[in-house]
């Protein structure tokens, strides 16, 4: 993950930094595309993320969906039910907008407001915070999500990306 993506948790209005972060995430979404996504793929991807979390002692909850079906869910020590609330909100954001939850939030910040302040957004249902990344299948489109919750938003996003990259490299 580039520093330009990590450097946006501070609420900064640095438009150049936001532009770099947005471009970086757009590049990730264009590059990290699956040829297929089946139940066993969700298990393999989730297992990669759990292994990363265990190795680093990260207090995260990991969730993978295809459509409305939850295919994988794991909560590491140090998490709580509230992480599941964040997962639902971030996942709903990806379903609604077809891009990562972090990208949605950064685009709103680039527009000079928080995502949740937009009058058409229900903040109890949607969250423009990093951690949910679209599972996109070539010639199909977005079919699901991989979501991480428990760390600062840039770190949630970075862990999800690291897991997807490792899975796709296999």
- Please give the model's pTM, rounded to 2 decimal places: 0.91
Task: Give the pLDDT of the chain (170 residues) as one tens digit per residue.
Answer: 333 444 444 444 689 999 999 999 999 999 999 999 999 999 999 999 999 999 999 999 999 999 999 999 999 999 999 999 999 999 999 999 999 999 999 999 999 999 998 888 988 999 999 999 999 999 999 999 999 999 999 999 999 999 999 999 99
Q: How many domains does the chain have?
A: 1
* Alpha-carbon span 91 to 134, nearest angstrom: 9
Q: In the chain, at which residue ranges do the beta strands (DSSP E only) sit?
A: 61-66, 69-75, 132-137, 141-149
The DSSP symbol for 118 reads S
139-143 long-range contacts (CB < 8 A, ≥24 apart) are 141/98, 142/94, 142/95, 142/98, 143/37, 143/66, 143/67
Given a contact cutoff of 8 angstroms between Cβ atoms, the answer to whether 161 and 153 are in contact is: no
Identify the CATH number of the domain in which residue 109 sits: 3.30.450.150
Q: How do strand 141-149 and strand 61-66 relate by DSSP bridges? A: antiparallel
* Alpha-carbon span 63 to 91, nearest angstrom: 9
Percent helix, strand, coil in the chain (nearest 5)? 50, 15, 30
Domain that holds residue 145: 3-169
């Amino acid at each position: 993950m580039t520093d330009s993506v990590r450097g946006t948790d501070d609420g900064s209005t640095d438009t150049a930094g936001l532009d770099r972060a947005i471009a970086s995430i757009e590049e990730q979404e264009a590059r990290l595309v699956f040829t297929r996504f089946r139940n066993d793929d969700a298990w393999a991807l989730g297992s990669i993320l759990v292994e990363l979390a265990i190795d680093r002692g990260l207090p995260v909850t990991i969730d993978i969906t295809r459509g409305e079906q939850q295919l994988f869910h794991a909560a590491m020590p140090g998490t709580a039910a509230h992480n599941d609330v964040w997962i639902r909100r971030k996942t709903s954001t990806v379903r609604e907008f077809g891009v990562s939850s972090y990208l949605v939030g950064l685009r709103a910040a680039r527009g000079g407001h928080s995502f949740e302040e937009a009058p058409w957004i229900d903040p109890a249902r949607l969250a423009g915070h990093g951690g949910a990344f679209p599972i996109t299948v070539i010639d199909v489109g977005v079919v699901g999500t991989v979501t991480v919750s428990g760390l600062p938003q840039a770190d949630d996003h970075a862990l999800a990306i690291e897991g997807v990259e490792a899975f796709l490299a296999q």
